[in-house]
Amino acid sequence: MFRPVPDRPDLAAMVVRLGRSLVTAERPVLAAHDVSMWGYIVLSALADEPMRTQTALARAIGADKTRIIATLDELQERSLIEREPDPGDRRVRLLRLTPAGRSLYAAVRADIRTAEEELLDVLTAADRRTFLRVLQLLDPAGD
């Protein structure tokens, strides 16, 4: 039977601190590419697949649909995303990355991976593989 180890912080406390440190490490990367955190989240979601509606996108990224409108407007003004009426239902807006959006997403993601590698440098190669595997296993959004 598993018994909790009393001499360590709770998982939530450790994960929140790690998450905050990762967000702090990402901020200069995002600023260098002139994209907001929400902008990068949208680009990431659309990099996987186009979305049929803004509501579906908001649901997929865990945002209020009214909150992301300004982000979508900015990304569209910068020609990073397209919002086109669905030919089958003109009330619906299809969202997808443009080639420029795909290029920006790839550049930001590469720079974020570099920052992550610096953070993970304290781990051995075996610990790094285990850490990443376990995170993927525990990720509620994982498939």
Pick from 43, 40, 135: which is nearest to 96 by CA?
43
DSSP 11: H
Residue-wise pLDDT for 78-137, tens only, equals: 999 999 888 888 778 899 999 999 999 999 999 999 999 999 999 999 999 999 999 999
Architecture per CATH, domain 29-137, reads as Orthogonal Bundle (1.10)
pTM for the whole structure: 0.84
DSSP string, 92-124: EEEEEE-HHHHHHHHHHHHHHHHHHHHHHTTS-
